[in-house]
Chain A
Amino acid sequence: MTYFGVWAALLVGTLLTYEVAKIDLGVFNSAVALIIATTKALLVALFFMHLKGASEKLLKLVVLSTIFFLILLMALAMFDYGTRWYS
């Protein structure tokens, strides 16, 4: 069953993120951690929360606008704090 495959992939992802954190990748450490976390989140959302195969367009609109507003919140805040000098 797909569920067991997704479960195994999530456990492997957890082990991977734990082990890769011990290797010095410089600035890429956080990038790798976030990529693994997002892959795991996608697996949960698509298969466990049954977004894959959901037919309603309205539901997809809610999910996509949630992601959009989250990125808007983070990105605009980071542009601001990342480009200003506070003493």
Chain B
Amino acid sequence: MAAHSKTHNPALLHHFATEEQQRNSASFGMWIFLATEVMFFGGLFCAYLIYRRWYFGDFAAASTSIDALLGGTNTAVLICSSLTVVLAIWAAQTARRGLMLVMLVLTMIFGATFLGIKGIEYKDKFVEHHVPGASFNFDHEEIPGHPGQYANPHHAQIFFALYFVMTGLHALHMIIGLGIFTWLLWAAWKGRFTPNYHTPLEIGGLYWHFVDIVWIYLFPLLYLIDRHP
């Protein structure tokens, strides 16, 4: 009973026995949440696989119309943001408050850059009438490697529907991530995180890295189908 005396560690919540147990419970809960997220995105990846097998040529033609350089740049931007996240956690562990704040701000700048580049990409698709709907137009687009053969616009529309749903859902996760990091930055500014207690940083970091991993798969699958001449 002495463990819950009035002088207990302020960072330790009452229902945990030790700080280690508290940390493990938090990350365990986050990993379970990420498991549900994997299945959430998994359904979309599965739909993508099935349609890609059926309409490979049409998917290749549609994929080639997206700017792969923008997508590749965004991949690099997200990888850099993942590095700044782990550096922020390392800074918290070693009591470097200034470095932690800088790394959190950098993470948010990278995240915003990603969304900005994504916006340019979406704008291009709107201008080209590649957004599924009434004004969708994908006529006379050649299938890569098959001169004179044109993609079926209905099948290409399925690709673009998957493209917008998958990257849109990913972008939504990025926006939520930016919200989480705004809070983390505020808490770090207030001095809430110490070498002994920085669990929110680690949990937020797990989420950010997961969103990065989703993009690592989205990039080759959506942008790089049949790119060779």
Contacts and interface: CB of A to CB of B under 8 A. Distances in A.
Interface of A: 3-4, 6-7, 10-11, 14-15, 17-18, 21-24, 29-30, 33-34, 36-37, 40-41, 44-45, 47-50, 56, 58-59, 62-63, 65-66, 69-70, 73-74, 77-78, 81-82
A36 B50 contact: no
Contact of B213 (A3, A22, A45, A69): A45
B221 interface: yes
A48 B85 CA distance: 9
By secondary structure, the B interface counts as helix
B150 interface: no
Given A17-B224, A22-B229, 13 more contacts: A21-B228, A23-B228, A37-B216, A37-B220, A37-B221, A40-B216, A41-B217, A44-B82, A45-B213, A59-B31, A66-B35, A74-B45, A77-B49
B38 interface: yes
Interface residues of B, number: 47
A81 B53 contact: yes
Given A44-B212, A45-B213, A56 B28 contact: yes
B77 to A, nearest CB: 10
A35 to B, nearest CB: 10
Given A18-B224, A41-B217, A58-B28, A4 B83 contact: yes
Nearest to A70: B42
A62 B32 contact: yes
- Which 5 A-B pairs give the minimum distances between C-beta atoms? A33-B220, A21-B224, A66-B35, A24-B228, A21-B227
